[in-house]
């Protein structure tokens, strides 16, 4: 019986600590918005992490960018000389749109085929 109390004295504090774990402050996690911005800061596609980003038309404080790996097109907002502050998803590019970024029809088809296969 005495042994049981000794074991309980060592084990109970850990059980109690675990039970109150939800009270411990957690490091904040990125929102989707922050995630997109941080990936653009390091020239990576927020959707597939590829570094094959292509620059498209730009105007004012925004720049169209497209991913040559997953075909997602973005509108990236920034102040010249400063970091990206907002990223909008335009959507997956259609072939006509891809041509603006210099992706030719054959290359476009190859990428689409690759995406369908899930490679």
Q: Considering the rule CB under 5 A, would residue 69 count as an interface residue with Zn ion?
A: yes
> In the set 66, 67, 98, 103, which binds Zn ion (CB under 5 A)?
67
Cβ 8 to Zn ion, closest distance in Å?
55
Instruction: Please report, for residues 5, 20, 60, the alpha-carbon distance to residue 71 in angstroms, rounded to integers and kept in the order given.
Output: 64, 46, 24
Nearest-angstrom CA–CA distance, 49 and 40: 10
* Nearer Cβ to Zn ion (21/119): 119
Rg, C-alpha atoms of the chain = 24
> In the set 50, 54, 86, 88, which binds Zn ion (CB under 5 A)?
50
* Nearer Cβ to Zn ion (45/103): 45
Q: Considering the rule CB under 5 A, would residue 47 count as an interface residue with Zn ion?
A: yes
> In the set 48, 54, 100, 112, which binds Zn ion (CB under 5 A)?
48
Query: Which H, E and C letters describe 43-76, residue by residue?
Result: CCCCCCCCCCEEEEEEECCEEEEEECCCCEEEEE
Which of these, 55, 63, 52, lies nearest to 88 by C-alpha position? 63
* Nearer Cβ to Zn ion (47/88): 47
Phi, psi for residue 40 in degrees, rounded to 5 = -70, -30
* Nearer Cβ to Zn ion (65/78): 65
Residues in the site for Zn ion, rule: CB under 5 A?
45, 47-48, 50, 67, 69-70
């Amino acid at each position: 019986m005495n042994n049981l109390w000794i074991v309980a004295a060592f084990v109970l504090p850990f059980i109690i600590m675990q039970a109150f774990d939800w009270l411990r402050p957690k490091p904040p996690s990125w929102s989707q918005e922050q995630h997109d911005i941080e990936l653009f800061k390091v020239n990576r596609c927020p959707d597939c992490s590829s570094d094959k980003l292509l620059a498209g038309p730009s105007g004012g404080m925004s720049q169209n960018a497209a991913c040559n790996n997953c075909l997602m097109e973005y509108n990236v907002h920034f102040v010249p000389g400063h970091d990206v502050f907002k990223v909008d998803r335009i959507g997956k590019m259609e072939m006509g749109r891809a041509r603006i970024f210099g992706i030719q029809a054959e290359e476009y088809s190859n990428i689409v085929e690759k995406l369908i296969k899930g490679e």
